[in-house]
Amino acid sequence: MVFLEFEQPLESLYDQLEQIRQIEAQGDVDVSAAIRDLENKIIQTKKEIYGSLTGWQRVQLSRHPERPYTLFYIQQMFTNFVELHGDSLVHDDKAMRYIIDVMGADKICLGSDYPFPLGEHHPGKLIAEMNFGTDLKEKLLSRNAKDWLNV
């Protein structure tokens, strides 16, 4: 575990707990009461530390190197999650078709870097020229965005 400077009292308590658990694993001495007392001391120390954090300590905690990221929570909630990014600038009908097949045509729309053209000087031109039906092109170019924005 990585402990921040203001969490040092917890580091010491966790070290003690680990030592007592090693003694317990040897099986010679019953240390269950000591473990329970130390676990309660850890809970109390956490309440004291995290109940009186300064603004900077909150910032440090929010940037903690072991803090879970969004992907961790997504993986806990879903078993079939696949991180997928699509971009019409791939200039490839097959890649766009794959994204549409996986995500569904109703969940995709044109994105643009306008007014900073990064490969497409006329936003929408690539989709308009792809080998898709008129209905699908209309969804990707405008209808989906309008539906999402209730326009």
Return the pLDDT at 36: 95
Question: Model-level pTM?
Answer: 0.49
Residue 76 covered by a domain: no
Residue 73 covered by a domain: no
Q: Of 67, 100, 117, which closes a domain? A: 67
Q: Are residues 95 and 141 in the same domain?
A: yes
Q: Are residues 138 and 94 in the same domain?
A: yes
Compute the mean pLDDT over every residue in the chain, rounded to the nearest whole number. Answer: 85
- Region 104-130: mean pLDDT is 75
Q: Is the pLDDT of residue 82 over 80?
A: no
Return the pLDDT at 111: 75
From CA 71, how far away is CA 74, in angstroms rounded?
5
Higher pLDDT, 13 or 94: 13
Contact assessment for residue 87 and residue 119, using Cβ atoms and an 8 Å cutoff: no
Q: Are residues 19 and 55 in the same domain?
A: yes
- Region 105-115: mean pLDDT is 78
Domain count, the chain: 2
